[in-house]
Structure 1
């Protein structure tokens, strides 16, 4: 009798644990379920709980949940970004700045961290670092064109400057996103910056598809005839 009762309690405990773990896993797709996961079973769910807490009206609660997230899952850059926001909201400005730097170092694809580091680099006059952060945002397909236009006008403003030369250096060694540079660069970079970066990369020995180069000229010409002609002259020497 007692053994049977213990067995049923054990089965119930295992079932509850399995349900909790499955619910925690489901929060990766449905973050709204995060608060429903028992606190002791939260792993993935803690990300949603912390994010909702930080977005709320209680900075101290947001900081508490963000710190709990870091204790449980310290590696993802996104989690550090959540903690940085919580620290900022709680008035811990120096701690927030340090945390966002760690986030940017850990995850080059974490957009808010990259934008923050870019703006800090601009304030510090570090054009090369700002350009590297700009490229990290540029290659993300979900980065808004408007943001890239705003930041690009600052990072790549100087003709022949460090920002543009850093962009050229990265472009030359990243063949996998050449096509993205052509399609997106024409949209979000100034025609003068786009043409200079492209020409400098070509003259530095970077190999581009001639069809991509011709298409870029066609898209650039309506915006800036002179820039298109400069690029076309460089293309004629290569294709």
Structure 2
């Protein structure tokens, strides 16, 4: 009899744990469920709770919830970014800067982390690092063209700067994504900088498909006719 009671108790406990885990996962898409997950079982729900706390007025609670999130799910870059936001909210500026760097290293596809790192690089005058972060943002299809345009205006402002030369090297070595770069860059990168980078990359040995060059010229012409003419002339002999 006692064994049966123990067995039933184990089944009930397993059912409760399973239910809590399912609600926790569902909290990813249904934020109101986050607070319904028992505190010891919060993983996905904890990210929602930390985000809400950061948006609130209690900096200490925001930091505590973000730190609890990292304790439970330390790997995702987005979670490190939440911790950085909470640290900044709690006026732990230096710790926040370090955490942002860790987040960016872990998640090259995390847009906000890469954008934060680009801003830090620009503030520090590190044009080469800013260019690398810009490349990560450009290659992420979820980065909005408007964001790339605004950041590009500040990243590539110096015609002879390291940002342009570094980005040119990245383009030259990225043969597998040349077509994507031309299509996206013609829409989002400031026209003068885009034209100069592509021409410089070609002069350094990059090979661009002529059909892609033709399509790019037409797209560029919609933004800046003068740069489109310069772009087309640079590839006239090749294509």
Alignment TM-score, normalising by the size of structure 2: 0.92
The range that moved more, 117-126 or 49-58, is 49-58
Q: Which residue of 2 aligns with 1:168?
A: 168
CA deviations on 1:124-156 (whole Å, 9 max, x unpaired) are 111101111111112222222222111111111
CA RMSD between the two structures = 1.7
Q: Which residue of 2 aligns with 1:57?
A: 57
* Structure 1: gaps spanning 5 or more residues: none
* CA distance in 2 between partners of 1:104 and 1:137 (Å): 11
* CA distance in 2 between partners of 1:170 and 1:30 (Å): 40
1:179 Cα deviation after fit: 2.7
**Residue 118 (structure 1) aligned with residue 118 (structure 2):** yes
Q: Count residues in correspondence.
A: 239
1:190 Cα deviation after fit: 2.0
Q: Does the CA-based 8 Å contact 1:202-1:234 persist in structure 2? A: no
CA deviations on 1:134-182 (whole Å, 9 max, x unpaired) are 1111222222222211111111112232111111111122233323322
Q: Which residue of 1 aligns with 2:198?
A: 198
1:121 Cα deviation after fit: 1.0
**Residue 8 (structure 1) aligned with residue 8 (structure 2):** yes
In structure 2, relative to structure 1, the CA distance for the partners of 1:113 and 1:8 (3 Å cut) is same
Q: Which residue of 2 aligns with 1:78?
A: 78
1:224 Cα deviation after fit: 3.0
* CA distance in 2 between partners of 1:205 and 1:64 (Å): 52
1:223 Cα deviation after fit: 3.4
The range that moved more, 169-178 or 81-90, is 169-178
In structure 2, relative to structure 1, the CA distance for the partners of 1:209 and 1:64 (3 Å cut) is same
1:29 Cα deviation after fit: 3.4
| Partner SS state of residue 233, structure 1 | helix
Q: Which residue of 1 aligns with 2:47?
A: 47
| Partner SS state of residue 201, structure 1 | helix
